[in-house]
Structure 1
Amino acid sequence: MSRDGREDLAAAQRAHWQHTYGEHPGMYGAEPSEAAVHAAGVFRAAGAREVLELGAGHGRDALYFAGEGFAVTAADFSPVGLEQLRAAAAGQGTAGRVTTVVHDVREPLPVAGASVDGVFAHMLLCMALSTEELHALVGEVRRVLRPGGVFVYTVRHTGDAHYGAGTGRGDGIWEHSGFAVHYFSRPLVDALADGWRLEEVHPFEEGGLPRRLWRITQRLPEGSAR
């Protein structure tokens, strides 16, 4: 896909998610994802205090992290979703532990280098991001993590029922019912973990389809170069 084509697809996806969050407030419910519950345990075991969530949406996982005592920066490109997150945080008494930022992950992360202990992203990396953009994003995650920091993310993979269905956008991206998904292969997972310690690639299922995903945990080695 050309650069112009990628930008057009990205703009269409931003508009689609804005509309979706506006029409379906709290669309994923208030309970945290299983991936977030697992990630909280990983972060806690690593002694993490400050966590960045990418693609936070309306905030069910960010709110869970805050409730577990972490200081959370929640980033998403949907102002509508983040407005819902802030309102829920205020209602739950965790607003003091949650910072929201409107951000497109195609741009450098709005976080200082070596400033967070953990990064979490549930199905954010398998949005309409090219392989080039994914490498740049993981490079940014590496920049913002402290040495020994942990990155936990989930993605739909090429074993998913919707892989190859709908409209092909190139580079492993398929659009189905208005949602564009980059389906991960194992070689892509391994390539994105280059220079990290890859600790887990755990297969699981979610939802009624079901969606088939991997939960990936990789750690930045102590003293690694940035």
Structure 2
Amino acid sequence: MDESLARAQREHWERTYSAHPSMYGDQPSESAEHAATVFPPRGDVLELGTGHGRDALFFARQGFTVTAADFSPVGLDQLAARAAADGLTVTTLVQDVRRPLGLPDGSVDAVYAHILFCMALSTAESEALVGEVRRVLRPGGVLVYTVRHTGDAHFGTGTGHGDDIWEQGGFAVHFFSRELVDRLADGWTPAEVEPFEEGDLPRRLWRVAQRRTDWDVERLVS
């Protein structure tokens, strides 16, 4: 992805988090509630693109051990303050997902990413990120992520940046095709894809779940 766009998006989210510290409210997303039923009970969860951390806090309340990663120190500081006020333990990690994830191999049971994959990440960067997710997952680990897709009303509107990335109101979104979802599941179990809607437009999204394959398990233990 163009470095100038990536930098502009980081700055835009920093300003947004600073100006609207509760922009998504305190309640967990429906996708987080669903993911909690898929994750191994009381397992280690890495959330990518945690933002203010409403879903990370929900996972912590459900008894998961949570690492919350985001490229915004402002958002992570707000999350840490809320966790402390609620008596919850959440580890925060400043992470640009275009870089290798700052966790050891095979260190988490589940990875969760609500909307993160459809930020200003190119297809190549998304593929590299999925490879990093596979690296940090334990054998049999699960990835649950959500993305806006090409059936969304905003697809094809605003400023186009190529690679199905469109920008409106300062927010750049990579709209996923089903072909891309299937490509990111290559080498995993077949992707379980569930359509849903969210927000006022409404935004049209897919919720995707995929697990590491037996081939990955055999490779780790051999």
TM-score bucket (shorter structure): over 0.9
Identity, % of aligned positions: 67
8 Å contact from structure 2 (residues 185, 191) kept in 1: no
Cα deviation for residue 198 of structure 1 reads: 2.4
Shift >4 Å, 4+ stretches: none
Say yes or no: does 1:10 pair with 2:6: yes
Match of 1:78 among 63, 69, 72: 72
Q: Which residue does the alignment assign to 2:209?
A: 217
* Kept after mapping to 1: 8 A contact 2:45/2:109: yes
In structure 1, what is the equivalent of residue 100 of structure 2? 108
Q: Is the contact made by 1:50 and 1:118 (CA closer than 8 Å) also made in structure 2?
A: yes
Residue 125 of structure 1 corresponds to: 117
**Alpha-carbon distance change, 51 to 214 in structure 1, aligned in 2, over 3 angstroms:** same
TM-score, scaled to structure 2 = 0.96
Q: How many residues align?
A: 218
Structure 1 CA distance, aligned partners of 2:116 and 2:150? Answer: 16
Report the CA distance between 1:48 and its aligned residue: 5.4
Name the CA distance, whole Å, in 1 between partners of 2:84 and 2:4: 35
3-state SS in 1 of match to 2:116: coil
TM-score, scaled to structure 1: 0.94
1:24 is matched with: 20
1:1-226 paired onto structure 2 within 5 Å: 6-43=2-39, 46-47=40-41, 49-95=43-89, 98-222=90-214, 224=216, 225=219
CA distance in 2, matches of 1:117, 1:198: 18
Post-superposition Cα deviations, 1:36-84, rounded to whole Å, max 9, x if no partner, equal 00001100xx345100000000100000000000000000000110011
Amino acid at match of 1:135: E
- Aligned residue for 2:121, secondary structure, equals coil
The answer for unaligned runs of 5 or more in structure 2 is none
Check whether the contact 2:41–2:64 (CA below 8 A) recurs between aligned residues. Answer: no
- Give per-residue Cα distances to partners, 1:159-212, cap 9 Å, x unaligned: 000000000000110001100000000000000000000241000000011000
Gap regions ≥5 residues in structure 1: none
SS at match of 1:90: helix
Shift of 1:138: 0.2
